[in-house]
Structure 1
Amino acid sequence: MLDEQRPGRDLRDFVLPELGRLLETGDPWEPFRVLDPVGRPVEPTVLYLKELMARDSSPLTPRSCGMDLLRWFRPVNCTMSQS
């Protein structure tokens, strides 16, 4: 039911603020790090991305996963910054 319309929920002009970022570290064991809006590492993502590298993944795998995690954490950060 993806075509289902809900009244009062027009998302055509919705823009999610770009809070946080993905940092390329240059470290072969931790090539990317997800940072919160203040620039601190998001700890659960640090552990996850390090585990990916321990599995002998391509350096592009943590980049791809880091971008996905960043998109996932942005709505959480957006909600927290409005409180």
Structure 2
Amino acid sequence: MAEREVSGLLVARVGSVEATAVASLPWVVLDGAGRSITPASEFLRELLACGNTPAFCRSYAFDLLRWFRFLAAVDVEWSRAKREDVRDFVLWLRTCHNPARDRRRPDAPTPGSLNARTGKPYLKSGYAPATINHAVSVLAAFYDHHLQTGQGPLVSPVPPPVP
């Protein structure tokens, strides 16, 4: 596989996470055509069945939406993703703009600058390391679920955590 340059990768903001009226699947991940992404729905339903809250499932749904958007941008099927794709996803998250940061007030401090009173930095315009770590954890659980059910790839593309 050739090295992929992800710093300038354009990932379309298509698809969405939508609430449903179905108690067994309160959130659904939709693709750019408005269709439910079945592997994501199956995983979210399993999370709910294991005692997780709808809010927990919603959080996971947004990470899955970001993953499926990335996969569409690099033209890779979810079941054919490799470790290199997960690596490139992480590298992309580290370099791309976080659209949630667009909701800043016009008079807000410059992203990444220091608060004069507390000395703590203001949020940068990208994704926080904790957000990236959460996304990788979600992917690991998603692929583990599909490995256990026999519906996904034979090997998870998510590398094991470093001890």
Same fold per superposition (TM over 0.5)? yes
Counterparts of 1:1-83 in structure 2 under 5 Å?
11=7, 15-80=10-75
TM-score, normalization: structure 1? 0.73
Runs in 1 of length 4+ with deviation above 6 angstroms?
A: none
Cα RMSD, aligned residues only: 1.9
- Rounded Cα–Cα distance in structure 1 between residues aligned with 2:53 and 2:27: 12
Greater RCO (CA < 8 Å, at least 6 residues apart): 1
Q: Is the 8 A contact 2:29 2:61 kept in 1?
A: yes
Seen in structure 2, the aligned counterparts of structure 1 residues 60 and 75 have a Cα distance that, compared at 3 Å, is: same
Gaps in structure 1 of 5+ consecutive residues = 1-8
Residue type of the partner of 1:37? G
In the alignment of these two chains, the number of paired residues is 71
TM-score, normalization: structure 2? 0.40
Once the two structures are aligned, what percentage of the paired residues are identical?
Answer: 32
Gaps in structure 2 of 5+ consecutive residues = 76-163
Q: Deviations over 1:12-48 (max 9, x none)?
A: x654210111011133221100011001110100100
Larger fraction in strand: 1
Q: Is the 8 A contact 1:49 1:62 kept in 2?
A: yes
Q: Is the 8 A contact 1:32 1:62 kept in 2?
A: yes
Larger fraction in helix: 2
